[in-house]
């Protein structure tokens, strides 16, 4: 034990902030986390309504496969345990197009045979897709140390675990999902490949996502998002970390080019040797340190939403009587056009949580509908008065409910509205820029966004956030937390746990 321990203050108690806190404690620092909300978790969140639980994050958690370095990180931060149970989900999702229903199963051979029997004329593209999903499934996200700190041995190891990624990138790294869909002749397959992620996403991202499902590296831990956060909080506190909730931070204190602490909304100042900013990065630049610290790389992304779009959504949750719902998993379907966030919606998705009995009273399940929204729609919602906002939300719920009943007529009389939320909800709750809950979308022909997580001109300030590497998400958040502490520990000549 060192005397006069060095202190790290972390702003934001999302997954990245909690991970940074845990790694900071393990490297023998005093660590305090300041979170603006009453509970930590940030975007990895769930809440209760009318006796049901709405889980608003984990659709899949990359890094669940035992033996991978990311799984080690999830175990170190207490998110997963040796014997964590995962939801028994059979599929990634299902697309309905006209009379045809097609599913991307967890069982890749089943997917292959069903796609081939649906559309023999797409045989070449189907086989190519399946083959490349298998390649992607063999690849593993490095999680030991930041890429820029990797040496030759690390690259050799990474090369072995990423051996087949170049094949995936060669075939799918320069096209987007719309191009990929265009390679298929059958309309249901065209729909299938543009349903899950925004169609401007580079196609390789989609293959990597599906690959994690088929390889068992993208499971859903039982208990969902909130339970996972609670396990991380427990780990942090058991290690002696201090977590302050309802504690919004107004400013990161910078003196002579060095971060020296924070100033909270109640004007209290907390001094520290290091500050880790774990909030949305625009919140950090705009409010905590000032935009003068935003370098050209960040600026070019934030100022060009065509090249670097962000997405959010309008969502609505319902409780339904189990016997009245005949869907399973996530289902995309065409619907009668309606408008929400100023955008015409003709296709929507519904996810059912039948795999998690604790989310609803016996005999019921929770359904959640998701309608994609982008920067433009965020601005629409943001521009409304309070009354207009409430009114547009009610209209959205009504439109969604009607379309659910059209698609699943047996639900008539068995549907109870629980909650509805929009891009501005994410802004209010997490200070999320444009309501985005993932990082910048990587489009074809655009370099995928990645930064170190340090700020030019400010020493002792580190960023731990999903925003430091596209496409963001939980694995980026947790490793960003680890890597911020890795950099601090290296500076202090300490070692951190893998």
- Does residue 372 touch ligand FAD according to CB under 6 A? no
- From candidates 58, 310, 411, 469, binder to ligand FAD by CB under 6 A: 58
- In terms of CB distance, is 43 or 215 closer to ligand FAD? 43
Contact pattern for ligand FAD over residues 391 through 430, marking x by CB under 6 A: ---------------------------------------x
Distances in Å between the alpha carbon of 414 and those of 146, 314, 329, 359?
50, 22, 19, 17
- Angle between the N-to-C axes of helices 123-137 and 165-172, in degrees from 0 to 180, rounded to the nearest 10: 140
Among 8, 9, 17, 434, binds ligand FAD (CB under 6 A): 17
- H helices within 7-151, ranges in order? 15-26, 69-76, 108-118, 123-137
Which CB atom, from 263 or from 401, has the smaller least distance to ligand FAD?
263
Picking from 421, 466, 19, 146, the residue whose alpha carbon sits closest to that of residue 283 is 466
Which CB, 380 or 437, lies closer to ligand FAD? 437
Tokens 């489009």 -> residue: 443
Please report whether residue 371 would count as binding ligand FAD according to CB under 6 A. Answer: no
Stretch that binds ligand FAD, among 34-42, 46-54, 161-169, 296-304 (CB under 6 A): 34-42
Q: Report, in Å, the least distance between residue 397 CB and ligand FAD.
A: 17
For residues 126 and 215, give the distance between their C-alpha atoms in angstroms, rounded to a whole number.
19
The yes or no reply on residue 437 touching ligand FAD (CB under 6 A) is yes
| Rounded distance between C-alpha atoms, residue 482 and residue 453, angstroms | 11
Q: Does 15 interact with ligand FAD (rule: CB under 6 A)? A: yes
Per-residue binder mask for ligand FAD (CB under 6 A), 226-265, x = binder:
----------------------xx----------------
Q: With binding defined as CB under 6 A, does residue 36 bind ligand FAD? A: yes
Query: Which CB atom, from 115 or from 221, has the smaller least distance to ligand FAD?
Result: 221
Buried residues in 166-198 as b, exposed as e (16+ CB within 10 A): eebbebbbebbbbebbebbebebbbbbbbbbbb
Assess 438 for contact with ligand FAD (CB under 6 A): yes
Could you give the 3-state DSSP secondary structure of residue 423? helix
Q: Would you count residue 16 as binding ligand FAD (CB under 6 A)?
A: yes
Is residue 319 within 8 Å of 364, Cβ to Cβ? yes
The 8-class DSSP code of residue 323 comes to G
Q: Which residues make Cβ contacts (< 8 Å) with residue 219, sequence separation at least 6?
A: 60, 61, 64, 86, 87, 89
Can you tell me which of 22, 23, 25, 59 binds ligand FAD, judged by CB under 6 A?
A: 59
Contact status: 466 vs ligand FAD (CB under 6 A): yes
56 is a contact residue toward ligand FAD (CB under 6 A) = yes
Q: State which of positions 271-310 bind ligand FAD (CB under 6 A).
A: 278-280, 283
196 binds ligand FAD (CB under 6 A): no
**How far is 183 from 172, CA to CA, in rounded Å?**
12
CB of 429 to ligand FAD, least distance (A): 6
481, 27 Cβ separation under 8 angstroms: no
How far apart are the C-alpha atoms of 162 and 490, rounded to whole Å?
A: 26
Residues forming the site for ligand FAD (CB under 6 A): 11-17, 34-37, 42-44, 56-60, 248-249, 278-280, 283, 430-432, 437-438, 465-466, 472-475, 477
């Amino acid at each position: 034990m060192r005397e006069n321990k060095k202190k790290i203050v972390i702003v934001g108690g999302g997954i990245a902030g909690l991970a940074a806190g845990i790694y900071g404690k393990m490297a023998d620092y005093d660590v305090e986390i300041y979170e603006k909300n009453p509970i930590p978790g940030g975007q990895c969140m769930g809440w209760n309504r009318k006796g049901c639980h709405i889980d608003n994050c984990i659709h899949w958690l990359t890094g669940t496969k035992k033996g991978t370095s990311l799984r080690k990180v999830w175990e170190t931060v207490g998110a997963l345990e040796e014997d964590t149970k995962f939801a028994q989900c059979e599929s990634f999702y299902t697309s309905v197009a006209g009379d045809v229903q097609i599913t991307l199963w967890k069982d890749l051979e089943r997917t292959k045979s069903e796609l081939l029997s649906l559309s023999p004329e797409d045989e070449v593209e189907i086989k190519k897709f399946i083959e490349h999903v298998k390649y992607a499934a063999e690849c593993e996200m490095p999680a030991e140390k930041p890429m820029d700190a990797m040496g030759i041995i690390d690259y050799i190891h990474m090369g072995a675990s990423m051996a087949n990624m170049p094949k995936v990138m060669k075939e799918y790294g320069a096209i987007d999902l719309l191009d990929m869909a265009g390679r298929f002749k059958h309309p249901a397959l065209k729909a299938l490949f543009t349903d899950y992620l925004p169609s401007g996403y580079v196609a390789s991202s989609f293959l990597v996502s599906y690959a994690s499902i088929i390889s068992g590296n993208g499971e859903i831990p039982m208990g969902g998002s909130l339970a996972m956060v609670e396990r991380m909080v427990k780990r942090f506190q058991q290690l002696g970390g201090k977590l302050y909730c309802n504690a919004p931070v107004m400013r990161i204190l910078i003196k002579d080019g060095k971060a020296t602490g924070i100033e909270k909304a109640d004007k209290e100042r907390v001094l520290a040797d290091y500050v880790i900013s774990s909030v949305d990065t625009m919140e950090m630049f705009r409010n905590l340190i000032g935009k003068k610290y935003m370098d050209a790389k960040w600026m070019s992304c934030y100022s060009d939403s065509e090249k670097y779009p962000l997405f959010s959504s309008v969502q609505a949750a319902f409780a339904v009587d189990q016997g009245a719902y005949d869907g399973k998993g996530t289902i995309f379907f065409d619907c009668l056009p309606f408008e929400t966030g100023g955008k015409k919606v003709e296709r929507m998705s519904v996810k059912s949580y039948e795999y998690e009995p604790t989310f609803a009273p016996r005999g019921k399940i929770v359904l959640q509908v998701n309608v994609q929204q982008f920067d433009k729609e965020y601005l629409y919602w943001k521009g409304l008065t309070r009354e207009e906002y409430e009114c547009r939300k009610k209209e959205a719920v009504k439109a969604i409910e009607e379309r659910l009943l059209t698609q699943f007529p047996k639900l008539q009389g068995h549907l109870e509205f629980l909650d509805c939320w929009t891009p501005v909800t994410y802004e209010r709750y997490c200070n999320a820029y444009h309501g985005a809950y993932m990082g910048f979308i990587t489009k074809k022909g655009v370099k995928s966004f990645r930064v170190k997580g340090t700020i030019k001109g400010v020493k002792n300030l580190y960023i731990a956030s999903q925003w430091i590497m596209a496409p963001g998400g939980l694995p980026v958040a947790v490793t960003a937390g680890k890597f911020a502490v890795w950099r601090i520990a290296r500076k202090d000549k300490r070692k951190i746990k893998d």
